[in-house]
């Protein structure tokens, strides 16, 4: 059973949905960088205070601080039975540092799950997203339509499109992914850790394929 997992893929590939399914099915600790920062700041750990200082000043948190927070989080007892890293690493230096620190704490990565999805489908998925202004419920103009156009089924609130959920913004985000994150796939492939799946198969079929692989 592969239990220490990195989840990768471009924006809109379905990482969030798959992460939720894997977390529930395999009792994994789901760790995103955003949650990790919030938890460390709330707990007022030394690294949390350091990160908060950079964030309060409007600066990006340096890699060495982020790496320290990841090590701090993965060392906690709840990660002993398995964890799912989502949104980290994003760059090659982060990946190299992660390999080193997971060896130090004896929680090495078992597999890197990569979700493949062509750009046209990513544009269709993301540009069609709509969100309720009141309750945050998600919709899609093609695959998850509300009963009444523009109105939330749950609370009757108005639906809107997030500023970055459009074709122009997506192209910028995909550009960052290709230039910064995609090279990590080669890094993990060379380590024999990369396993890619076609996210166009649908969320249930994708979950079944990934689950079967993890159980080997």
Tally Cβ neighbours within 10 Å of residue 74: 22
For the chain, report the end-to-end CA distance as a whole number of angstroms.
6
Residues with a known catalytic role: 15, 90, 129, 162, 173
100-103 contact pairs (CB < 8 A, 24+): 101/67, 101/70, 101/71, 101/74, 102/4, 102/74
Contact 140, 39 (CB under 8 A): no
**29 φ, ψ to 5°?**
-85, 120
Residue 102 three-state SS: helix
Joined together, the tokens standing for residue 57 give 């000043």
| Residue 177, beta-bridge partner list | none
CA dist 22 and 85 (Å) reads: 12
């Amino acid at each position: 059973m592969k239990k220490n997992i990195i989840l990768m893929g471009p924006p809109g590939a379905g990482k969030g949905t798959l992460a939720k399914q894997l977390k529930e099915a395999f009792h994994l600790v789901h760790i995103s960088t955003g949650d990790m920062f919030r938890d460390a700041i709330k707990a007022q750990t030394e690294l949390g205070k350091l990160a908060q200082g950079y964030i309060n000043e409007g600066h990006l948190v340096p890699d060495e601080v982020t790496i320290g927070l990841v090590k701090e989080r993965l060392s906690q007892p709840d990660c002993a039975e398995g964890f799912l890293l989502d949104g980290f690493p994003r760059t090659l230096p982060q990946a190299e540092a992660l390999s080193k620190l997971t060896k130090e704490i004896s929680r090495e990565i078992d597999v890197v799950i990569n979700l493949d999805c062509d750009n046209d489908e990513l544009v269709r998925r993301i540009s069609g997203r709509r969100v309720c202004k009141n309750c945050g419920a998600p919709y899609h103009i093609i695959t998850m339509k509300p009963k009444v156009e523009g109105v939330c089924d749950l609370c009757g609130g108005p639906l809107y499109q997030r500023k970055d959920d459009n074709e122009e913004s997506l192209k910028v985000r995909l550009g960052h992914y290709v230039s910064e994150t995609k090279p990590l796939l080669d890094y993990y492939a060379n380590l024999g850790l990369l396993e890619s799946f076609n996210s166009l198969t649908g969320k249930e079929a994708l979950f079944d394929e990934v689950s079967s692989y993890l159980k080997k």
